[in-house]
Amino acid sequence: MKNTSLLLGLLMMAGCTMPNEARYQIGPPAAIGGGVRPGASPADQDTVKEILQTVATPLRLKDMTGYSLLPNTIVYYQEIDSNNPVKLIAWSEGDKIFIELTHWPEEIGESRPYRSTREYIESELKRKFGDRSSVIAFKKLVERTAKPQ
């Protein structure tokens, strides 16, 4: 009960908004001849661009790829002139591609455009990449990128 009260108190202090975030990973194809796996292929990157452009256009997201500070950005879209912008970014790292969809809605819960975008991305990644695509937790992404190379 104490934890529930604390959580509710924190939500009230935060203005009752929580981010909606979805993160996806596209793993490498099977190793060639039992050897080294190839990096994220240009074809895979083009497929990801196509999927994200399909959702960015009706949401009127602006292509901000040229302004991204993230290394190896494939594409970066963001809603402009909004206090609660939708952001959609994809980048490659080694033999994997990562995609992140983020939105800070005015109210708690997923907005209809966010939900439909998330569902479309998930279905298209599954359709185009099969078992190579997966949803990943932010904690795992941070732990993976924090490890020394």
* Angle, helices 112-129/42-56, rounded to nearest 10 degrees: 160
The residues spanned by each domain of the chain are 18-146
Q: How confident is the model at residue 147 (pLDDT cuts 50, 70, 90)?
A: low
**Greater confidence, 148 or 49?**
49
Residue-wise pLDDT tens digits, 123-142: 999 999 999 999 987 555 45
HSE (side-chain half, CA atoms, 13 Å) at 25: 15
**pTM, two decimal places:** 0.75
pLDDT value, residue 18:
62
Q: Could you read off the pLDDT of 1-15 as tens digits, one per residue?
A: 455 554 444 444 444
18-146: CATH, from 3.30.230, 2.60.40, 3.30.70, 3.40.50: 3.30.70
CA 62: distance to chain centroid? 16
